[in-house]
Chain A
Amino acid sequence: MNSRRDFLKHFSAAAFAAGLLPSGLTWALPQGQGIEFPGEEGLILRSYRFIDLETPVEYFNTWLTPVPHFFVRNHMHEPSELDATDPQAKEWRLSIGGEVEKPLTLSLGELSKIETHSVVNTLECAGNGRSLHRPQVPGIQWGKGAVGTARFSGARLRDLLQRAGVKPSGKHVMFRGLDEVPGKVPPFVRSIPIEKALDADTLVATRMNGSPLTKHHGFPARALVPGWIGAASCKWLTEIKVLDAEFVGNFMSPGYRLPNQPVKPGDAVKPEDTHPVTALSVKSVISGPIDDAQVKSGRLAVHGVAWGGEADIAKVEISTDGGATWNLAKLGHEQARYAWRLWSFDWKATKPGDYEIMSRATDTLGRTQPATAVWNPSGYLYNAVDQVRVHVA
């Protein structure tokens, strides 16, 4: 620092970075400019700290969601000691222990020598659509975009578990990430049953759409539990522990559980009358035209995405008259077991007026999106028939 002027310049930058400025000034950003978030473009800011970013539905026009447009859901602070600019992640280790014959610890270099497998997976936050439940429930008020599809690559979890040798007593597999927990908040630790852990498509992923994971998506390694809620796919993975029972902790119970039977708002739900949320529901989202769009009369493509967790999409139906009549949409040719399908419907919007456009997916398990989603106290798995209003002029 050579001069006072330089110093003050540095000081104000430091103060700004450190959040020392009076709070009124924190809004002194140019009008119309988004909140700067390196690597994350045009996402809906649900929370800055912790980071929770939602993809606007109009981005759901490609089978694979580009990483800068992929939603981010963090429960805690991202690990400060992990330096995503060091692709070797020299300090990072992954341990595999618990109910195993030979506990082991791997560096990123050792992990990347294990045979790589790729899975195109639609990852959806269990709370996607929470803001649409009535009455409202607490939690991040996601609209329709806490979902995305990417090609995840890495070692099969099964291969790591086989190296360690799972004992017959091993029934569940716990993941611990490096997230930093504030206050007395319980750590974000969850487990999955051994059957899902040994599935050939369950990964310890190190890459997303062909590139190393970014920090927001779990660098250097994350679990990838395909077809299941995003919370199963622990980010910044550092410990895999084989257990003889489901992990006991806040994010297994009462967190991420659904009542076995539908309940009414305000009803007390006993823990024994609930089960963990695992596989995703059947669901479709209209990505265009967007809600409240004004369009010119003529032919118009109604388009979007549809997914069913561990099930495939059998059909997507579109209504342009508020649900009175339904027509089949054409499904896109790109498909993979756990990935969504693009769909499109050629709508002849010849008569001016206001229209209610709806989409309704059915999967190969025979599940169809309901008119109204099943309300539950935490607002999980919202999957009602999607709808947008369109004005044709």
Chain B
Amino acid sequence: MSPNLLQKLRRHLAIVGVLVIAFVLPMGSRTQKSGAPNVTADLPAGPMQAKATTACLECHEARIILQQRLSKASWTKEVDKMTKWGAVVDPADRDALIDYLSSNFSPDKPAQEAQRTSSGKSGK
């Protein structure tokens, strides 16, 4: 790599860096309020995973869903409540979303294993 090219590359990277600081970090601080690394969980695989991610995880993380053990009637109420509260669910996807949630998070599934926090200092 010629010194000239390296210089150009550095300049470009510097611009990208400024953009990251100007746009990405504030966006990050909106979605990750504590400022800590992204340690949120994912929704399970399935045909509705992507749409559920868009609809639900805009406002809260997956753990809030992963820990529920609800009947289909309860999931229906939750989906309709959250849609009223701003979750973007295409009416054509509503029933599939309810099926996805009630089959993955039904009352017969074992309870979710929760993780522990660490304050980041040298242990307890």
- Measured CB to CB, the residues of A under 8 A from B are 1, 4, 7, 10-11, 14-21, 23, 26, 29, 33-51, 53-54, 56, 68, 77-78, 80, 131, 135-138, 140-141, 182-186, 266
Partner among A1, A68, A131, A140 whose Cβ is within 8 Å of the Cβ of B64: A140
Query: How many Å from the CB of B85 to the closest CB on chain A?
Result: 5
Whether B59 sits at the interface, judged by CB under 8 Å, is yes
Chain A residues within an 8 Å CB radius of B17: 1, 7, 10-11
Flag B57-88 by CB within 8 Å of A: 1 or 0 each. 01111011001111101100110000011110
Contact B42–A23 (Cβ < 8 Å): yes
Contact A43–B60 (Cβ < 8 Å): no
Query: How many Å from the CB of A56 to the closest CB on chain B?
Result: 8
Given contacts A36-B118, A38-B120, contact A16 B13 (CB under 8 A): no
Partner among A7, A38, A48 whose Cβ is within 8 Å of the Cβ of B119: A38
Considering the chains assembled together, what is the distance between the CA atoms of A140 and B114 in angstroms?
12
18 contacts across the A-B interface (CB closer than 8 A): A4-B9, A14-B20, A14-B21, A18-B31, A26-B42, A35-B117, A36-B36, A37-B34, A46-B63, A46-B67, A47-B61, A47-B63, A50-B60, A136-B107, A137-B74, A182-B58, A182-B60, A185-B85
Considering the chains assembled together, what is the distance between the CA atoms of A77 and B33 in angstroms?
7
| Known A16-B37, A40-B117, A41-B117; 6 more pairs at CB < 8 Å | A14-B24, A26-B40, A34-B115, A50-B60, A80-B33, A138-B77
Given contacts A49-B61, A140-B64, contact A17 B120 (CB under 8 A): no
Q: Which residue of B37, B84, B116 has the most chain A CB atoms within 10 A of its CB atom?
A: B116
Partner among B9, B37, B74, B112 whose Cβ is within 8 Å of the Cβ of A17: B37
Contact B114–A44 (Cβ < 8 Å): yes
Contact A18–B27 (Cβ < 8 Å): yes
Contact B39–A36 (Cβ < 8 Å): yes
Query: How many Å from the CB of B105 to the closest CB on chain A?
Result: 10
Chain A residues within an 8 Å CB radius of B4: none
Contact A11–B116 (Cβ < 8 Å): no
Chain B residues within an 8 Å CB radius of A18: 20, 24-25, 27-28, 31-32, 38
Chain B residues within an 8 Å CB radius of A266: 73
Considering the chains assembled together, what is the distance between the CA atoms of A20 and B37 in angstroms?
10
Chain B residues within an 8 Å CB radius of A46: 63, 67, 114
Chain B residue with minimal CB distance to A250?
B85
Chain A residues within an 8 Å CB radius of B68: 136, 138, 141
Given contacts A17-B28, A18-B28, A141-B67, contact A182 B14 (CB under 8 A): no
Q: Which residue of A10, A40, A53 has the most chain B CB atoms within 10 A of its CB atom?
A: A40
Query: How many Å from the CB of A36 to the closest CB on chain B?
Result: 5
Chain B residues within an 8 Å CB radius of A17: 25, 28, 32, 35-38
Q: Which residue of B21, B37, B61 has the most chain A CB atoms within 10 A of its CB atom?
A: B37
Contact A80–B117 (Cβ < 8 Å): no
Chain B residues within an 8 Å CB radius of A29: 39
Partner among A11, A42, A49 whose Cβ is within 8 Å of the Cβ of B40: A49
Considering only residues 1-53 of chain B, those with a C-beta below 8 Å from chain A are 9-10, 13-14, 16-17, 20-21, 24-25, 27-42
Contact B115–A45 (Cβ < 8 Å): yes
Query: How many Å from the CB of A21 to the closest CB on chain B?
Result: 7
